[in-house]
């Protein structure tokens, strides 16, 4: 009996639990995005509404997730293994720090002033960079400076978005 006939005789079974889990996660994420954007008007292709992009990306994510889950039944792959919580904590923590420091906030007695992109940008790169186990501080600092400069040039000057750069120093 040939190998192809043996594989066909086994029928549909999960051959890659990692791909199946990733596909189901993408479908769940798409469902959450569709649920959260349900009140946004989609509009038409001639007059795009605020819900068009999030809903389109959600459907694309769901389709790719379904394809990934389906392929987990067809192709052999990796088994689901644990993941590094270090990466999750540092990357999500960096996003939270950026959101809280870019424009500042006040909750009861806790007050953080508006720091702007010149402080928040390097902070997010440095904190999220700690998610890697083989991080080199010198390279991370250089990357933080380059990314902050690029983001400031792109968002503040090229796109003209009202993002504060350094309100505590320059007033901009």
Start-to-end Cα distance in the chain: 74
The pTM assigned to this predicted structure is 0.62
pLDDT-based confidence at 7, cuts 50/70/90? low
The pLDDT tens digits of the residues spanning 50-63 come to: 888 899 999 999 99
CB of 74 within 8 A of CB of 82? no
The pLDDT tens digits of the residues spanning 33-47 come to: 999 999 988 888 888
pLDDT-based confidence at 6, cuts 50/70/90? low
CB of 163 within 8 A of CB of 98? no
The pLDDT of residue 65 is above 60? yes
pLDDT-based confidence at 89, cuts 50/70/90? very high
Backbone φ and ψ for 76, nearest 5 degrees, come out as -70, 145
Q: What is the pLDDT of residue 122?
A: 94
């Amino acid at each position: 009996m040939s190998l192809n006939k043996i594989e066909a005789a086994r029928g549909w079974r999960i051959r890659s639990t990692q791909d199946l889990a990733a596909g189901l996660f993408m479908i769940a994420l798409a469902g959450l995005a569709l649920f959260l954007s349900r009140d946004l008007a989609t509009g038409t292709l001639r007059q795009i509404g605020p819900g068009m992009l999030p809903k389109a990306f959600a459907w694309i994510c769901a389709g790719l997730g379904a394809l990934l889950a389906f392929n987990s039944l067809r192709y052999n792959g990796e088994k689901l293994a644990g993941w590094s919580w270090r990466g999750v904590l540092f990357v999500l923590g960096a996003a939270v720090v950026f959101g809280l420091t870019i424009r500042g906030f006040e909750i009861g007695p806790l007050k953080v002033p508006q720091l702007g992109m010149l402080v928040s940008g390097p902070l997010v790169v440095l904190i999220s960079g700690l998610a890697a186990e083989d991080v080199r501080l010198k390279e991370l600092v250089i990357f933080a400076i380059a990314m902050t400069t690029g983001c400031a040039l792109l968002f503040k000057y090229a796109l003209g978005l009202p993002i504060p750069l350094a309100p505590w120093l320059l007033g901009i």
